Structure 1
């Protein structure tokens, strides 16, 4: 019977004998250098990689993860840790769910704070492989084991956890944003831009307007400041994109607060982006995109201000767009204005009926799910105000389902109250659907 303290090489030698292989046969069949394998089996050097051990397991008919509990000895030499062996080992253990191997190694690594970088490297590798759940555990270990609060590695770990947490659960997104916010300025500059943009988008979806405005200002200021340094920054997008995005979200925040004239200043800013440096053709396309968004949002501000006469022109504009998300945003604007100023937009809703049906495809995207929820709520109000009670109740139930799935507590309570207001007119089926959802308090 194999004991966990037997050397790795003894186990390999036993299986060679069991299968009747000599060293050269094993080396050829497993794709391992015969000299390296010989030195490893003779105890001259610890030269078996985790990939080679996996190849041996396959050759001997063993399950993935074979002898992993013994492999740790390949990573240690006189209390010195082999970084180039440990990182692939931890990554592979995480892939296979070998927590029994991971935890003892992490415990030993944390005896020396310098070894936290090994854990971080393994986390980064898993993150790049999109093994996010596995990476999450390692990043948390780095955070718990890092004493220097200004460590770039610590900031990166918080950033990665923020990214991993993103989804359609509003409460989870908000907790992740709060946790990451203090570290946003400690990231490398090329990541600060992407992080600020992500924070801005998350807070926008959560309707945290103070935070949106703060991060949007920071985004515009940082992108312009980096441009002035004339130091090449390897950011995910061109600096002009982040600058435009900062202006866009700033203008959107002012719009949400009803400050339409102030918002127009920022909309015109990103609709006519000026940049101190020449732009290549690809970046010019992004600038042109901001111009399109600017035109759409100037329409939005006019409609929200109650300009009924521009509705059909705006609808024509929306109809020519290829982006379903932008059409959704435009229809929300039209419904809000119709509800505020009491005019009919039935012809617009009829025109976009097929498009509206497609909005259900947005349920896995944070911002688009938020828009879909708001569309259903405003459409419910619209239907009620035009005496179409059954249609209003159906829209309210759709809105309630979205709020429930997204953990949007305030929206959930608001939809519940709206349904209760018209409950006496509800069908048995509508009542049954409504009763599926638990009662919540704000």
Structure 2
């Protein structure tokens, strides 16, 4: 039988080794002699705070004894949340994820602890400790997988939002796993969940799914908007709030449907959806936040009307669209990226010279590569996709005009970004474009691309556990 060491034995050994009395150690640790004596003799268990004081007094790293603490006081012992909760927060603070995983494994055989574990996960998430919160949400979700509860759905929603990252193949998996749980959320949270799902599917260019989710979101938002403004609905109960104004989910659904039509080259129908979210006279609210969002939708519609006409071949709107971009220069860089991407798509599709446009927005284009990541699902997912796409389009433009230095620079950026987000289509397109113009690349550029391709290949070999027999 394997003997499990104890913290008490470690402390007793330390006192003997250092020739230190209980009083002396208690003075160093900031604990009275009686508590130290009770801990050493085994007559008293210890709290996480006391363990931290003991660890520091022994000159050991923070959390050094947490694994032993789990063995000595949690696994195969009566569960005590007053002991476990502080331990989970401290493990999260010290990024001891494996310790959290062990505690969750010991707890979740008993469904009675699900509510408390969920509360802790919510608090950790609010503190920005996503990796730790994820382990707790996964534990609760696993324990309640047959309960069909709203808490299970919320856990799945949190897991979905935490797991969404750079890898688009993983994002698709996360979205697919979460989608069946949307209907179990409360009516208000469903709207935010549907909006997040739509933006993920949009970044993945899964247009059928974008349309399906957008239509569902619009229908639910319309029902709730009517309910909220029904004169009979005045019971004084505070309304749970969505992240944005309620009318915005209706308008955003039209914007999403417009993007679907645009992707399908149905520019006439895209314009109809755009006119719909531009006309918000039906909105009943008139507060400052509402005016802000109405102005924003109006501004988006103005730009997207130009876009749909431009992409349909009406090149005459290009000067007005450029001036529109310049006039909205105070808008964030994410929006400017999508607007300039539209110009590059049109330039390559209809062979338009846009050198003056690129010169005018040169500083903005340089900034795109340095855009910070943001928690919002749109900027977190759609914008990285746009950046890879923009890099390819501008590289295509320059290379076909013999501007090889700029062309290969943007092509390398686009290729790297395509690999980061794991978009195979973009990556293959970038490599194909490079191969087409390879003869014009300097030897340093050719080496750089060769090294990148080899790196990606080796990464795939490792990820897929395949062996090279060459």
Q: State if a TM-score over 0.5 links the two structures.
A: yes
**Structure 2 equivalent of residue 424 of structure 1:** 439
Separation in 2 of the partners of 1:340 and 1:197?
A: 31
Conserved? CA contact 1:328–1:371, under 8 Å: yes
Q: Distance in 2 between matches of 1:227 and 1:36?
A: 60
Contact 1:139 1:161 in 2 (8 A): yes
Give the Cα–Cα distance (whole angstroms) in 2 for the partners of residues 394 and 354 of structure 1.
Answer: 15
**For residues 139 and 84 of structure 1, do their structure 2 counterparts lie closer, same or farther at Cα, with a shift above 3 Å needed?**
same
Residue 342 of structure 1: CA displacement? 2.3
In the TM superposition, 1:207-222 aligns within 5 A as 207-222=205-220
> Are 1:145 and 2:143 matched, yes or no?
yes
Q: Give the match for residue 412 of structure 1.
A: 427
Match of 2:23 among 20, 23, 29: 20
In structure 2, relative to structure 1, the CA distance for the partners of 1:209 and 1:80 (3 Å cut) is: same
1:272-304 C-alpha deviation (Å, 9 max, x unpaired): 224453232122211111111111111111211
SS of the aligned residue for 2:367 comes to helix
Deviation (angstroms), 1:387: 4.1
Query: CA RMSD of the aligned region, Å?
Result: 3.7
Classify 1:91/1:419 alpha carbon distance in 2 versus 1 (closer, same or farther; 3 Å).
same
- Post-superposition Cα deviations, 1:362-385, rounded to whole Å, max 9, x if no partner, equal 374432221121112222222244
CA spacing shift, 1:220–1:131, aligned 2, 3 Å: same
For structure 1, the 5+ residue unaligned runs are: none
Q: Which runs of 5+ in 2 are unaligned?
A: 229-237, 374-379, 461-470
Q: How do 1:126-145 and structure 2 match up within 5 A? A: 126-145=124-143
> CA 1:423–1:120 in 2, change beyond 3 Å: closer, same or farther?
same
User: 1:282 aligned to 2:289?
Assistant: yes
Deviation string, structure 1 residues 224-260 (Cα, Å, up to 9, x no partner)? 2222222722222221222222221111111111111
Aligned to 2:175: 177
| Cα distance change of structure 1 residues 433 and 38 upon mapping to structure 2, 3 Å threshold | closer
Does 2:341 match 1:332?
yes
CA shift, 1:320, in A, is 1.7
Q: Which residue of 1 aligns with 2:318?
A: 311
**What is the aligned counterpart of 2:362 among 353, 368, 380?**
353
Aligned position for 2:465: none
**2:263 aligned with 1:256, yes or no?**
yes
1: CA distance, partners of 2:399 / 2:28: 77
**Residues 53-98 of structure 1: CA distance to partner in whole angstroms, max 9, x if unpaired?**
435655675543365434787779x976333442222232343355
The equivalent of 1:399 in structure 2 is 414
Measured in 2, the distance between the counterparts of 1:385 and 1:60 equals: 68
Task: Decide whether the 8 Å contact of 2:25 with 2:57 is kept in 1.
Answer: no
CA contact 1:203–1:209 (8 Å) conserved in 2: yes
Q: 1:330-351 CA deviation, whole Å, 9 max, x = no partner?
A: 2221222222222222221121
Separation in 2 of the partners of 1:207 and 1:49?
52
Deviation of 1:162 (Å): 1.4
Indicate the residue corresponding to 2:390 in structure 1. Answer: 375
Deviation at 1:411, TM superposition (A): 0.8
Q: Which residue matches 1:163? A: 161
* Distance (whole Å) between structure 1 residues aligned to residue 145 and residue 399 of structure 2: 57
Contact 1:390 1:425 in 2 (8 A): no
Mapped contact 1:223–1:239 kept (Cα < 8 A): yes
The 8 Å contact of residues 70 and 103 in structure 2, kept in 1 or not, is answered as no
- Change in Cα spacing, 1:3 to 1:144, as seen in structure 2 (3 Å) is closer
Please tell me whether the aligned partners of residues 97 and 132 of structure 2 are also in contact (alpha carbons under 8 angstroms). Answer: no
Contact 1:57 1:64 (8 Å CA) reproduced? yes
* 1:186-225 equivalent positions in 2, closer than 5 A: 186-225=184-223
Do the aligned partners of 2:6 and 2:72 also contact (CA within 8 Å) in 1?
Answer: no
CA distance in 1 between partners of 2:21 and 2:37 (Å): 18
Deviation of 1:191 (Å): 2.3
Separation in structure 2 between the aligned mates of residue 408 and residue 226 of structure 1, nearest angstrom: 37
Query: Which residue of the partner structure matches residue 112 of structure 1?
Result: 110
Q: Aligned residue for 2:244?
A: 237
| Separation (CA, whole Å) in 2 of partners of 1:104 and 1:371 | 40
Q: Take 2:284 and 2:178, find their aligned partners in 1: how far apart are those partners? A: 32
Whether contact under 8 Å (1:363, 1:369) holds in the other structure is: no
Q: 1:349 to 1:74 in 2, by over 3 A?
A: same
Per the alignment, do residues 99 and 408 of structure 1 end up closer, same or farther by CA in structure 2, a change over 3 Å counting?
closer
Offset of residue 39 of structure 1 = 11
The number of residue pairs the alignment matches comes to 434
Distance 1:377 1:340 in 2: 13
Aligned partners of 1:4 and 1:70 also within 8 Å: no
